[in-house]
Amino acid sequence: MIKRFFHKIKEKVAGWRAARADRLIRSAEGLEYRARGYIKSFPEQKFHDLDETGIAMLELAGKKRKKARKLWEKARKPAP
């Protein structure tokens, strides 16, 4: 009975992690979209001298994707 209880808790935690990973991915996609729009709105500035805002958005999106990947790996582990 206790093992079953812990198993259910682990399944719920895996679901929460998967949902968190989905939210992080959506947030990262939004940041990448905003950065692309920012780059397109200032075409005279190429990537080599792009304003720090666009670069910071892309870096933050990369960090969020990395965190989401780690959460997905944790969520995929089967509950014993």
**Which amino acid belongs to residue 10?**
K
Given pLDDT bands bounded at 50, 70 and 90, which one contains residue 77? confident
Domain enclosing residue 59, as ranges: 2-76
Q: How many domains does the chain have?
A: 1
Residues 6+ apart with CB under 8 A from 47: 39
What is this structure's pTM?
0.66
Q: How many CA atoms lie within 13 A of 53 on its CB side?
A: 9
Range picked from 2-11, 26-35, 47-56 for highest mean pLDDT: 26-35
Mean pLDDT across the stretch 63-69?
A: 89
Amino acid identity of residue 2, one-letter, is: I
Per-residue pLDDT, 58: 83
| More confident call, 65 vs 41 | 65
Q: What is the pLDDT of residue 80?
A: 58
